[in-house]
A and B are shown apart, each in its own frame.
Chain A
Amino acid sequence: MPRQFTPKVVTANALLEGDVVYLTKHGDWTRRHEEADLIEDQATADIRLLEAQALAHEVVGPYLADARTGPKGPEPVHFREAFRTRGPSNYAHGKQEV
C-alpha cells in the first residue's frame, strides 16, 4: 500500500547567499515559510520539485519538507525545518537578524 501523503513545501538554499528559501505558488522563491506553497498531494509535489530543480541558477539543493497549516500559513513539522526558518540558536544571525 502506498504511504499516505503528508503535506509538503519545496525548500532550498539561495545560490548567492545560501539563505533558506521556499517555493511559492507563483514559482518564485520566498525567505518566509508562511509564504510557501503547501502541497497536498504526491503528484503535485513531484511536479513542483522538478520545477524547482529547473531553477538551479537561483537555488541549490531543493527538496520536499513536511509542513502543516498554521495560523499565518504553512509552518514546519520537524525541528530541523523549524531551525531553518529562524537561524542558529547561539546568535541572532540568519533570518532572526533584522
Chain B
Amino acid sequence: MYAYTDFDRDFLSERNAQFRAQVERRIDGSLTEYEFKPLRLMNGLYLQLHAYMLRVAIPYGTLNAAQMRQLAKIADRWDKGYGHFTTRQNIQYNWPELRDVPDMLDALGEVGMHAIQTSGNTIRNVTADHFAGAAAEEVADPRPIAELIRQWSTDHPEFQFLGRKFKIAVTGSDQDRAVTAAHDIGLRLVEREGQLGATVLVGGGLGRTPMIGKILNDFVALPDLLPYLEATVAVYNLLGRRDNKYKARIKITVHENGIDEIRRRVNAEFATRKAAFNGADMDMLKRIEADFAAPTFAAGQGAFPTHYQHDPVFRSFVDTNTVAHRHPDYTILTVSTKAHGATPGDATSHQMRVLADLAEQYAHNELRISHEQNVILPHLPKRHLRAVHAALAEVGLATANVGLISDIIACPGMDYCALATARSIPVAQEIAERFDALKLEHEVGPLKIKISGCINACGHHHVGHIGILGLDRAGVENYQITLGGDGGPDAVIGERAGPGFAYDDVTDAIERVVRAYLDLRTSPAETFLDTYRRLGAAPFKAALYPEEAKANAA
C-alpha cells in the first residue's frame, strides 16, 4: 500500500486546520452559507435531505485494517454506527454534525485518508479494479498508476475549476472490473512488445446523457501517460462547455467536436507538455510501485479441499463469492454487504471491525471496496477460508450472492439524497427479499440489477443488465426499467423498456422479466445477458407489459 510521506501528512493537517477555521467562521456568522458552501464541498461535506453527509475517498478502493477500524470509529463517534460504501469507492457518512466534521477529518488524517476532491469540479477519487494486484488474469497492477494520477491531480492548480467533475478509472485486466468505458477517462493497462502502456478511453459517462467512452489512443507508453492525461484534461478545460452544466462533461466535448479533433488537439498539447515532465513522474512511479509490492504468498491449502467437499453451505459461499487468485493456494473473497433485505453498501461499525480483524489476522492486512459496494479480501489463503466464513456468518456478512440478482447496486436515492426524484434503497431491499423467498437466485445465475434514484445515475443503472431509474411522475414515485446494459469490457448502455412502473409494481415487473428469461434460455449456462442479446428486447418487453402484448396479439 502507498505509505504517506511527511509532505502528505503536513499537507493534510494544514488543510484540515484551514477547514476547522472555516467551520468556526460559518458557525459564528462571519461566513455566509453562500461563501461557505464551496469551502465545505472542497472537503467532501454535502448537505443532504435530513442531515449533512461526509464523503471520504478510498483511493482505488484500497485500505488496510487500521484504516477500516478508523472508519468504524468515526461511524461510532460522530455518526450513527454505520457507513455507506459507494460505486466510486468512497464511504459516505450520512449523519455528521457540522461542528464535528473537522474532528472527523483529523481522525481520517491519522490513517492517511481524507475527503479532498470527493466533490466539486475537479478530478475526483481515482477508481480502479477492486481485484488489483490479486487477479489471476491481470496484465499489471493498476494501483501504482492510480496513485501516480492521484498525486498529480490532488490540488493540481490548473484543474481545480474544471467545467464539471472529472472521473478517471484504471484497470489492469481485460475483464475490466472498473467500468472504464463509463468514465471521463478510462485507462486499460496493456502490454505491447514487452512494454507496459495504456489504452486511453475518453468521454464515457452515465447521468443525463449516457455515453460509452471512445478510444483516444490505443497505446500510450507509461512514460508518456501523465503528460498525455494532462494534455487531455487541459484540452477539455479549454474546449469544454461552461454555458450549461448539463453539457459541461467531456463526453459532450467529445461528442460535439468529434474524437479526431480531440485527438489532434491532445497530441498538440502533449507535444508541449511532455517536456515539462522530465521523467520525474517515472521516478515517482518507481517509488510508488515499491509500496505496492505483493505480499509473500505462503503455499498450502490445509483442510480446505475437505471442507469444500463436505460442507455444502461453505461450498456455495466459495463458489459464489470467490474468484481465482494469481497464486493457486490463494483466493479473492468478495464479502457481500447485500444480505437479503439489507441496504446495499452499508456496513455497521461492528462489521467493519470484524472485516479489519479478518484482513489482519488472515489476509495480509488488505481490504478493498468495490464499485459494486462490496468489501474484498484480495489475498486470502485458501486454508483460512473456512475460519473467515464462520466469522463473517456471525455478523451477517456470509451471504453467498455475489454477482447474483440480490447483489444490487443502489444509490442512496430519496432516503438521503437531496437530488433524488424517488427512493432506491427500499426497491433494492424488496427485490432481494422477493428472490430470496422464491429461492430462485442461484438458478437465475449472474444478473446485475442497478438502481438510481434520479437521472444522475450514481447507481449505474444504464450499465445494469436490468437497470431501474426512479422518477417523479406528477408527485408519485415511478420507475423506468432499462434492459441489456453492461459495464464490462464491451460496455453497453441499456435500452429503455417502456413506460415506468409504480413503486408497488416494480418487484413484480422484475420477477416477470426474470421468469421470462428462465423460460427463454437455452440452458442454465446461458446468462440473462446472453439470452437478451440473442433474442433482443421483444420477449422481455412482452413479459413486462403483458396487457399490451395481449392487445397486440388480438
Interface on A for B, CB 8 Å cutoff? Answer: 13, 15-20, 56-57, 60-61, 77-80, 83-84, 87-91, 93-95
Taking A89-B415, A91-B343 as known contacts, 4 extra A-B pairs with beta carbons closer than 8 A to each other, sorted by chain A number, are A84-B49, A90-B415, A93-B95, A94-B51
Q: In the complex, what's the smallest C-beta–C-beta distance from A68 to chain B, in angstroms?
A: 13
Pick 27 A–B contacts, CB within 8 A, sort by A.
Answer: A16-B97, A17-B97, A18-B47, A18-B97, A18-B98, A56-B32, A60-B47, A79-B475, A79-B476, A79-B477, A80-B420, A83-B49, A83-B414, A83-B415, A84-B49, A84-B50, A87-B50, A88-B415, A89-B423, A89-B425, A90-B343, A90-B415, A90-B425, A90-B426, A93-B80, A93-B95, A95-B50
Residues of B within 8 A of A19 (CB): 50-51
- Tell yes or no: B548 within 8 A of A by CB: no
Query: Which chain A positions have C-beta within 8 A of B26?
Result: 15
B429 at the interface (CB under 8 A from A): yes
| Size band of the interface chain B makes with A | 20 to 34
Contact A61 B429, beta carbon cutoff 8 Å: no
Question: CB-defined interface of B412-427 with A at 8 Å, one 1/0 digit per residue?
Answer: 0011100010010110
CB-nearest residue of chain B relative to A13?
B47
Q: Which of A16, A19, A88, A93 has the most CB of B within 10 A?
A: A88
Point out which of B51, B423, B472 has the most chain A C-beta atoms below 10 A from its C-beta: B51
Chain B proximity of A79: nearest CB distance (Å): 7
Q: How far is the CB of B381 from chain A (nearest CB, A)?
A: 35
Chain B contacts for A13, CB-based, 8 A? 47, 51
Q: Is the CB of B475 within 8 A of A18?
A: no
- Residues on B close to A: CB < 8 A? 26-27, 29, 32-33, 47-52, 80, 94-95, 97-99, 343, 346, 414-416, 420, 423, 425-426, 429, 472, 475-477
A19 to B95, CA, bound (A): 9
B416 nearest CB neighbor, chain A only: A88
Q: Are B429 and A90 in contact (CB under 8 A)?
A: yes
Which residue from chain A places its CB closest to the CB of B421 in the assembled complex? Answer: A80
Q: Which of A57, A61, A80, A94 contacts B414 (CB 8 A)?
A: A80
Assembly CA distance A90 to B49 (angstroms): 14
Q: Which residue of B lies closest to A17 (CB)?
A: B97
CA distance A94 to B281 in the complex (A): 47
A87 neighbours in B (Cβ, 8 Å): 50
The CA-CA distance from A16 to B33 in the complex, in Å, is 12
- Chain A residues positioned under 8 Å from B415 (CB to CB): 83, 88-90
| Chain A residues with CB below 8 A from B80, complex form | 91, 93
In the complex, which residues of chain A have a beta carbon less than 8 angstroms from the beta carbon of B51? 13, 17-19, 94
Inside 8 A of B48's CB, which chain A residues have their CB? 18
How many Å lie between the Cα of A89 and that of B94 in the bound state? 13
**In the complex, are the beta carbons of B475 and A78 less than 8 A apart?**
yes
Within 8 Å CB of A61, what residues of B? 33, 47
Q: Give which listed residue, B33, B94, B99, B346, contacts A56 with CB less than 8 A.
A: B33
Given A13-B47, A88-B50, A90-B343: A57 in contact with B29 (beta carbons within 8 A):
yes
Q: How far is the CB of A61 from chain B (nearest CB, A)?
A: 7
CB distance from A88 to the nearest CB of B (A): 4
B543 to chain A, nearest CB (A): 28
A20 touches B97 (CB 8 A): no
Chain B residue nearest to A77 in the complex (CB): B475
**Is the pair B33, A20 in contact by a Cβ cutoff of 8 Å?**
no
- The smallest beta-carbon distance between A50 and chain B, in angstroms, is 15
Q: What CA separation (Å) do A83 and B48 show in the bound complex?
A: 12
Chain B residues contacting A78 (CB-CB under 8 Å) are 475
Q: How far is the CB of A86 from chain B (nearest CB, A)?
A: 9
Residue of B nearest to A86 (CB): B50
Write the nearest CB–CB distance from B5 to chain A, whole angstroms.
35
Chain B residues, Cβ within 8 Å of A91: 80, 343
A16 touching B429, Cβ below 8 Å: no
For A17, the chain B residues whose CB sits under 8 A away are 51, 97-98
* In the complex, chain B residues whose CB is within 8 Å of the CB of A20: 49-50
Residues of A within 8 A of B346 (CB): 90
**In whole Å, how far is A30's beta carbon from the nearest beta carbon of chain B?**
15
Identity of the chain A residue whose Cβ is nearest the Cβ of B410 in the assembled complex: A90
Across the interface, which residues of B come within 8 angstroms of A88, CB to CB? 50, 94, 415-416, 425
Q: How far is the CB of B43 from chain A (nearest CB, A)?
A: 15
CB distance from A13 to the nearest CB of B (A): 6
Give Cα distance in the complex from A91 to B425, angstroms: 11
User: Is the pair B50, A94 in contact by a Cβ cutoff of 8 Å?
Assistant: yes
The chain B residue sitting closest to A15, CB to CB, is B98
Tell me the complex Cα distance, A95–B50, Å: 9
For B472, list chain A residues within 8 Å (CB): 79-80
For A18, give the chain B residue with the smallest CB separation. Answer: B51
CA distance A76 to B98 in the complex (A): 27
Please name all residues of chain B whose beta carbon is closer than 8 Å to the beta carbon of A57 when the two chains form the complex. 29
Minimum CB–CB distance for A52 against chain B, Å: 12
Per the bound structure, the CA–CA distance linking A90 and B411 in Å amounts to 13
B536 to chain A, nearest CB (A): 35
Bound complex: CA of A80 vs CA of B47, how far in Å? 16
Q: Residue of A at shortest CB range from B341?
A: A90
With a cutoff of 8 Å between Cβ atoms, the chain A residues found around residue B50 in the complex are 18-20, 84, 87-88, 93-95
Chain A residues within 8 Å of B47, by CB: 13, 18, 60-61
How far is A56 from B30 in the complex, measured between Cα atoms in Å?
A: 11
Chain A residues with CB under 8 Å of B475's CB are 77-79
Tell me which residues across on chain B come within 8 A of A94, comparing CB atoms: 50-51
Per the bound structure, the CA–CA distance linking A20 and B418 in Å amounts to: 12
Docked CA distance A80–B472 (Å): 10
